[in-house]
Amino acid sequence: MERILLCKPRMSGHELDFIAPALAEDWAVPLGPDVTAFEKQLKDFTGAKEVVALSSGTAAIHLALIACGVMPGEEVLVQSFTFCASTNPITYLGATPVFVDSEAQSWNMDSELLEHAIHERIKITGHKPKAIIPVALYGMPYNIDRILAIAGKYDIPVIEDAAEGFGSRFNDKVLGTFGRYGVLSFNGNKMITTSGGGALLCRTPEAAKEIMWYATQARDSYPYYHHTAVGYNYRLSNISACIGRAQMGVLDRYLAHHRHVQELYTQLMADVHGIEIHQNPSAEYDSNFWLVTATLDPELRIVNQEKAYSNIVTGAVGGAAGVIRQVSSAVTDCQPNNNVEALRVALNNANIESRPLWKPMHRQPVFSHCPAYVNGVSESLFRVGICLPAGPYVTDEHVHYIVNAIKNSIIK
């Protein structure tokens, strides 16, 4: 069996049909007809008023924060249970992340804790936070109706981080279209890819024009380069947009595939005591199931569990990219249970890629100084959760193989 990856991108077969004409006409820059056409496709699919295609989802969050007026010393409320890209852009602006824990059903931002955090920050600082960032964890929708009601009560803009949730819906409306801004990602492991890229969904042409201005170095309208604000080189390239145009042609098929794979895992794991596949909490939620996630009962015993964390990891785990800095200890003060790590190792030995859930941001050393409003949900899920392959290359045969590998790893 070849190595089964979490979410390896798959080309539609038509990418070159778009790229070749663009190259022939020298459209290989961060502007061009394919960028415009890709944005139109995104508008049609999401129902968003305006879309600005950007170099990454992280760039989209950064620009949305700027557009919301976030300044140094101010605070932004952000879901703690997420990837660091949801949080890092807050610090780019000299602002402070204020972390909000999750509800047990969706694993996303707890609305009651959110309102409590707003009250507390106003009481402590004398100012309300500048923005709220809920996150569609692994594609699962957040309870956006409740979050918007609270945000509206205090007049705080919502930036939806739907980077993992492209195509997910809440009450049959596409994520990213509820808040003032919606963030999408087309990184190499997302629902569709432009190699690297993202987009910001905007409510008005004026908002989109402002985002575009910041994304193209914030140049004022003179015959020479004149700047009244700091800008960024964040526009999506035309060649990347060509890939996106082709990928949009298979998006519906990929969404159906991910949901089918999640359902197949659910069926095949139904008789496995001690492992539970995460589900949509209710009919309002319609996750794309970007990755299939599962939780392990702490009492479940896995082969070689006693050897968990006995060796320092020397390479990337679970599709991590970039440079991994080596550490001197195999353990931290907040990590998955030994049976989760033992299962990850067992699957890796069976040529199956898996990884733990995101470690909550309020438990990350780099953010240890930031305020956090926690209820224990995200930390408890991090200790017991694991991500399983669900990408477009994952076949029914692969899922059967993965489930059998899981069953074989369990000590009866």
CB 343 within 8 A of CB 296: yes
Question: Which helix (H) or strand (E) is 292 found in, with range?
Answer: strand 292-296
pLDDT over 90 at 353, yes or no? yes
Per the domain annotation, does 158 fall within a domain? yes
Model pLDDT for residues 65-120, shown as the tens digit of each residue: 999 999 999 999 999 999 999 999 999 999 999 999 999 999 999 999 999 999 99
Same domain, 101 and 179: yes
Q: Are 217 and 231 in contact (CB under 8 A)?
A: yes
Q: Count, in order, helices (H) and strands (E) of the chain.
A: 12, 15
pLDDT digits (tens, 9 = 90+) for 355-378: 999 999 999 999 999 999 999 999
Confidence bin at 321 (pLDDT 50/70/90): low
Q: What six digits make up the tokens of 308?
A: 């968990």
**Whether residue 3 has pLDDT greater than 90:** yes
Domain final residue pick, 200, 228, 250: 250
**Dihedrals phi, psi of 277, to nearest 5 degrees:** -85, 130
Query: Looking at this protein, which amino acid is placed at residue 154?
Result: Y
Q: What integer pLDDT is reported at residue 322 of this predicted model?
A: 67
HSE (side-chain half, CA atoms, 13 Å) at 266: 12
Mark whether 299 and 197 lie in a shared domain. Answer: no
Q: Please report which residue ranges of 140-286 form alpha helices under DSSP H.
A: 144-154, 205-215, 238-248, 251-268
Do 364 and 261 belong to one domain? yes
Report in angstroms the alpha-carbon separations of 99 from 73, 82, 144, 391: 16, 10, 17, 30
Q: Is residue 10 part of a domain?
A: no
CA-based R_g, the chain, Å: 21
CA distance 405 to 343: 9
Check residue 27 and give its pLDDT. Answer: 86
pLDDT in tens, 333-349: 999 999 999 999 999 99
Same structural domain, 31 and 129: yes
Cα 388 from Cα 5, distance rounded (Å): 9
Instruction: Determine, yes or no, domain membership for 96.
Output: yes
Instruction: Assess if residue 9 is contained within a domain.
Output: no
**Last residue in a domain, options 202, 222, 250:** 250
- When pLDDT is cut at 50, 70 and 90, the band that residue 30 belongs to is confident
Does 5 reside within a domain? no
Beta strands in 126-229 (DSSP E): 132-133, 159-161, 169-170, 173-174, 181-185, 198-202
3-state secondary structure 392-407: CCCCHHHHHHHHHHHH
Q: pLDDT tens-digit profile of 171-227?
A: 999 999 999 999 999 999 999 999 999 999 999 999 999 999 999 999 999 999 999
User: Which CATH number is 214's domain given?
Assistant: 3.40.640.10
First to last CA, the chain: 25
User: CA quadruple 351, 187, 105, 252: dihedral positive or negative?
Assistant: negative
Residue 2 lies in a domain: no
**Same domain, residue pair 189 and 336:** no
Are residues 237 and 187 part of one domain? yes
Residue 313 has pLDDT above 90, yes or no: no
Residues 84 and 197 in one domain: yes
Alpha-carbon distance of 381 to 392, in angstroms, equals 26
* pLDDT tens digits for range 47-67: 999 999 999 999 999 999 999
Residues 225 and 238 in one domain: yes
The reply to whether 287 and 384 lie within a common domain is yes
User: Domain tally for the chain?
Assistant: 2
Domain span at residue 405? 252-409
Output the pLDDT for position 314. 80
The mean of the pLDDT values for the chain is 96
Shared domain check, 280 and 221: no
Q: 14: Cβ–Cβ under 8 A, 6 or more apart, which residues? A: 246, 249
Point out the domain boundary residue: 234, 250, 266: 250
Evaluate whether residue 354 is within a structural domain: yes
- Which among 325, 299, 373 is positioned nearest to 100, based on CA atoms? 373
Cα separation, 399 vs 87, whole angstroms: 33
The reply to whether 233 and 317 lie within a common domain is: no
Task: Tell me: pLDDT of 317 over 90.
Answer: no
Q: Give the integer Cα–Cα distance in Å for 53 and 211.
A: 10
* Shared-domain flag, residues 318 and 396: yes
Residue 212 lies in a domain: yes
